[in-house]
Structure 1
Amino acid sequence: MSSRPLFLYALCGSQRQASASRRLLEALRLACPEGITIEICDLIAGLPIFSPDDEGERTPPVVAKFAGKIGEADGLIVSSPEYAHGIPGGFKNALDWLVSRDEVPFKPLMFAHASHRGDLVLEQLADVLQTMSLRIVSDAFLRLPIAGKGDEAQAAILSQARESGLLQTSLSRFAEAICTEA
């Protein structure tokens, strides 16, 4: 692994604070092996609707801050539910703001999926993110089906995944892929 700490920026497709996707990202943040830190993005809900007219010198400050965090990150973690067989609108809007920017090409990306279903959103996200030239690290893919379960059941599943090393293993695989490419 790298001699310097890795900074991972986590993007949640759901903007609900109590979403299963967000809980999975929080569990990953708490399970970070030494040398890795995760920050969960809290800017997506505040992004204005994307318009190419507002790029360049007219880029809104919140978009510049969002893109800056993406640029600082050694890798991205994406966790998103499937809404009506697709990518949640607010999350797609956030991705649209990044399409023509320099922060994302070849940035490593890991999926953390909180459902036993929702493969359509994974396929659509993979297509969009690969089009944006992000590098999806499939060896780090994490699926932990907590969506649709009550708070206690979610907490128990997340605790078991942490104790078994499942969360750390996915993060370690992701870190290894980042460091191998660096």
Structure 2
Amino acid sequence: MDSTRSHEALLTMKLLALSGSLRRNSYNSAALVALTRLAPSNLEITIGDIGSLPLFNPDIENNDIAAVQQLKSQLAQASGLIIASPEYAHGISGPMKNALDWLVSGVEFPYKPVMLINTSPRASHALNALIEVVTTMSGDIIDSASVTIPLLSSELDADGIVENREISAVLSNGLKEFCQKIEASIP
């Protein structure tokens, strides 16, 4: 790959981030906000809104639903997708599963590079289920970029995450690896 083209791709890289939690003080949402603050200036991370999506219903899948169209448009414009989702009752959160259901039949998701952020080291059930769903949808999970950070019961908000050297380093390194893998895949 030509270094000028590679440099241009990096300068224009856009990523979409989705939090599977609708809670105001969500660790998953805080991790994504922190990631936007830790990102280099040549990287644009948009945090999408999945809370406005109606419940998935195949009968209305082809209707012009603004929240669905916005999510699909943001994903189509993004070079990669970052997902941070909590574990609820050993599973993927309802809002995240609903968002993925809206994306399952579209052309925007397949082969999209995906970085996963797990905010609780003990929450392996939802992470494994999320890996299964994303893989089934033909998402390209970048394992080397996916991270687990210990936020459960930490009381850290986005500012606290950024200020925490260990956690911010893990997030920054994961994001750097994610961008490098995306950049390496650009023809």
Partners of 2:20 and 2:86 within 8 A in 1: yes
Match of 2:87 among 75, 82, 87: 82
Q: How has the CA–CA distance of structure 1 residues 149 and 98 changed in structure 2, closer, same or farther, with 3 Å as cutoff?
A: same
Partners of 1:9 and 1:69 within 8 A in 2: yes
Asked whether 1:12 is paired with 2:9, we answer no
Partners of 1:31 and 1:162 within 8 A in 2: no
Q: Using the alignment, how far apart are the partners of 1:131 and 1:104 within structure 2?
A: 11
What SS class does the counterpart of residue 92 from structure 2 fall into?
Answer: coil
Asked whether 1:172 is paired with 2:176, we answer yes
CA deviations 1:29-75 (Å, max 9, x no partner) are: 10002421211112x1111111111122x131211111111111110
Gaps of 5+ in 1: none
What SS class does the counterpart of residue 22 from structure 1 fall into?
Answer: helix
- Number of matched residues? 179
Residue 51 of structure 2: aligned partner: 45
Q: What does 1:98-177 align with in structure 2 at a 5 Å threshold?
A: 98-151=103-156, 156-161=160-165, 165-177=169-181
Q: Using the alignment, how far apart are the partners of 1:134 and 1:45 within structure 2?
A: 22
CA deviations 1:114-165 (Å, max 9, x no partner) are: 112111111000100011111000010121111222247x854541237963
Q: How has the CA–CA distance of structure 1 residues 16 and 163 changed in structure 2, closer, same or farther, with 3 Å as cutoff?
A: closer
What SS class does the counterpart of residue 111 from structure 2 fall into?
Answer: coil
Q: How has the CA–CA distance of structure 1 residues 54 and 151 changed in structure 2, closer, same or farther, with 3 Å as cutoff?
A: same
Gaps of 5+ in 2: 1-5
What SS class does the counterpart of residue 26 from structure 1 fall into?
Answer: helix
Q: How has the CA–CA distance of structure 1 residues 176 and 49 changed in structure 2, closer, same or farther, with 3 Å as cutoff?
A: same
Runs in 1 of length 4+ with deviation above 6 angstroms?
Answer: none
What SS class does the counterpart of residue 117 from structure 1 fall into?
Answer: coil
% identical equivalent positions: 37
Letter matched to residue 93 of structure 2: P
Residue 36 of structure 1: aligned partner: 43
